[in-house]
A and B are shown apart, each in its own frame.
Chain A
Amino acid sequence: MSTETKRQAVVAGIPRLRRYAIALMRDRTEADDLVHDVVLRALDKLHLWREGTNMRTWLFTIMHNLHANEMRRRSRMLDVVPLDAAPPRAEAAGQEAAVEWSELSGAMGGLSALHRQVLLLVGLEGMTYAEAAGVLDVPVGTVMSRLSRAREDLRRKIDAGTQTATIRRVK
């Protein structure tokens, strides 16, 4: 496979990297900065990518490592890492759906980064447990237990959010 073909494969991976990064970091500017760094790293290491292996999981692995480094760096600099800045805009497509999605978006922001990662990799990216485990560099069992806890936590947060929304509306 020529270098140019590999570069094309990196280009093709960008939309998914961005979707994941934006959902994970909840800040478009930071997410695009991260994707930019991932692309640079990937282009520098293109010769290390083995043909026949999955380009997407390779890119996601690079992203996970860069993101983890960045989080470590920040936690040294700051006491508190702001988890939830402005939630991403919920596309208006029916009022009810929009309310539901903004509940989901808010609840996602309340999850721990570890839970959000695994939920996004499996639930949004559609990765297999094995792929997600590879990206996160943890055993498959860890992916499964985190996923299970993440989904329950998300469910509770959405329910709590819906309740307060209902109470507000009743008042």
Chain B
Amino acid sequence: MSEDRISDSELNALVDGELDPARQAEIEISLAEDPDSARRVARYRSQNAGLHALYDDILHEDIPPKIAAAFETRRSGVPQWAAMAAAIALFVVGAAGGWIVRGEADVEPAQQVAAGPPIDTQELMVRASMAHVVSHEDELHAVSAGSKAEVGDYLADRMGKPVRVPSLDTFGYRLVGSRVLPDTNGPAAQFVFADETGKKVSLYVRGEQADGVDITYALADDLSMFYWNDSGSSYAMVTRVDDEKGREALLTAAKAVYGQLSQ
């Protein structure tokens, strides 16, 4: 039985299906007369089966958020922030047209009175879109069920002034978290909303004394945003929009937020 004992590498190759069919057939025949080798083949096969038994469940697990976040941070074009800031495309939509209905006499027209420089749109857009892209839930102060007041307190604490928390509930977007980010004008706030499919809309708020800017549309790479300035703060609502309809929806949401925050 042992004159041509099967070699180790051939036993392994048999287990791994690496033999050509003719040699495989020969070896399977000689295994019948070589119980020691046959036992080893069985052992190796059971090792493989055991590895599958131990680890195959992992294949069915959800992709952890941390890993999914890698796709957010590497959305096409995102790393080239400097280039993007320089080449940012601005599409002003009816800034002068004034669709904004500033209510009636009870609204103080602060922006028309306040004199100040124009807002730094590039700074706002770059910061807002960067914050949007890297706003994974892990990095946010999570919102415990429906507790808007708690979010307000959290932000007010860190920004040193009262912060109004907007709601997009009527648009199907739930507030999932908020955070405070460093900005050149002091701390900035970010609110992140998500719909049930996980699609995100974020609102970036930075302190900025300016003349007041009506809601304006801007497109940066594949991010759309509406921004405005009101009563010493600049706002940017950012999302990834694929079509005209999405842009309209974002505009409607931005108007709603504007209304809520300027009351």
Chain A residues closer than 8 Å to B63, beta-carbon distance: 11, 14-15, 18
Q: Select from chain A the residue with minimum beta-carbon distance to B70.
A: A39
Q: Encode B163-191 as 1/0 by CB contact (under 8 A) with A.
A: 00000000000000000000000000000
Chain B residues closer than 8 Å to A119, beta-carbon distance: 47, 51
Is A160 part of the contact surface with B, judged by Cβ < 8 Å?
no
Question: Nearest chain A CB to B65's CB is how many angstroms away?
Answer: 10
A88-115 residues with Cβ-Cβ distance < 8 A to B are 88, 90-91, 93, 97, 100-101, 104-105, 108
User: By the criterion CB–CB under 8 Å, are B61 and A15 in contact?
Assistant: yes
Q: Encode A126-152 as 1/0 by CB contact (under 8 A) with B.
A: 001100000000000000110110010
Residue from the set A40, A43, A123 with the largest chain B CB neighbour count within 10 Å: A123
Instruction: Known A97-B53, A104-B47, A144-B9; judge A19-B59 contact (CB<8 A).
Output: yes
Q: How far is the CA of A97 from the CA of B54 in the complex (A)?
A: 10
Is B18 part of the contact surface with A, judged by Cβ < 8 Å?
yes
Q: Encode A150-169 as 1/0 by CB contact (under 8 A) with B.
A: 01001100100000000000
User: By the criterion CB–CB under 8 Å, are A36 and B58 in contact?
Assistant: no
Chain A residues closer than 8 Å to B13, beta-carbon distance: 129, 144
Is B66 part of the contact surface with A, judged by Cβ < 8 Å?
yes
Q: How far is the CA of A58 from the CA of B61 in the complex (A)?
A: 22
We find that the number of chain A residues with CB closer than 8 angstroms to chain B is: 43
User: By the criterion CB–CB under 8 Å, are A23 and B51 in contact?
Assistant: yes
Q: Which B residues are within 8 Å of any A CB, using their own CB?
A: 8-9, 11-13, 16, 18, 40, 43-44, 47-48, 50-61, 63-64, 66-67, 69-71, 73-74, 76, 79
Q: Which 9 A-B pairs have the closest CB atoms?
A: A43-B74, A39-B70, A19-B58, A104-B50, A124-B51, A123-B48, A15-B59, A148-B8, A23-B55
> Can you identify 23 A-B contacts, CB atoms within 8 angstroms?
A11-B63, A15-B58, A15-B59, A18-B58, A18-B61, A23-B54, A32-B67, A36-B70, A40-B73, A88-B55, A101-B50, A101-B54, A119-B51, A122-B16, A123-B44, A124-B55, A144-B13, A145-B9, A148-B12, A151-B43, A151-B47, A155-B40, A158-B47
